[in-house]
Amino acid sequence: MREGGFDELCLTNFPEMNPNPKTALITGITGQDGSYLTELLLEKGYAVHGVVRRTSNLLRSRIEHLRRDENVYGQRLFLHYGDLSDGTTLRRIFSDVRPAEIYHLAGQSHVGLSFEIPESTCEEIGMATLRLLEIARDQREPVKFYHASSSEIFGNAAESPQTEQTPLRPSSPYGCAKAFATQLARVYRDSYGLFVCNGILYNHESPRRGENFVTRKITRAVARIARGLEHELVLGSLESRRDWGRAQDYVAAMWLMLQHEKADDYVVATGQTHSVRDFVEAAFAVVKLPSEKYVKHNPAFDRPTDPAYLVGSAEKIKAALGWQPTGSFAELVREMVEAELAAIDSGATGG
Q: Of these residues, 149, 150, 151, 171, which one is catalytic?
A: 150
Q: How far apart are CA 25 and CA 41, in angstroms?
A: 11
What's 71's DSSP letter?
T
Helices (H), the chain: 32-43, 64-67, 87-97, 111-114, 118-122, 128-137, 173-192, 214-226, 247-259, 276-286, 315-321, 329-346
* Spatial distance between the Cα atoms of 320 and 14, rounded to a whole number of angstroms: 37
Q: Which of 39, 101, 152, 205 is catalytic?
A: 152
CA distance 111 to 171: 10
Q: C-alpha angle with apex 11: 10 to 17, nearest 5 degrees?
A: 100
CA distances from 315 to 156, 161, 271, 321, 345 (A): 21, 11, 9, 10, 41
Integer Cα distance of 260 and 258 in angstroms: 6
User: What are the two backbone dihedrals, phi and then psi, of residue 158, each rounded to the nearest 5 degrees?
Assistant: -80, -10
What residues pair up with 168 in beta bridges, in sequence order? none
Q: What Rg do the C-alpha atoms of the chain give, in angstroms?
A: 20
Neighbours of 289 (CB within 10 A): 14
DSSP 111: H
Annotated active-site residue 150? The verdict is yes
Q: Measured between alpha carbons, how far apart are the two ends of the chain, in Å?
A: 27
Q: Are 336 and 209 in contact (CB under 8 A)?
A: yes
Q: Rounded to 5 degrees, what are φ and ψ at 77?
A: -125, 125
User: Does residue 291 have an active-site annotation?
Assistant: no
The closest of 140, 122, 218, 226 to 178, measured between CA atoms, is 122
Told to judge if 103 belongs to the known catalytic residues of this protein, a careful annotator would answer no
The catalytic residue positions are: 150, 152, 174
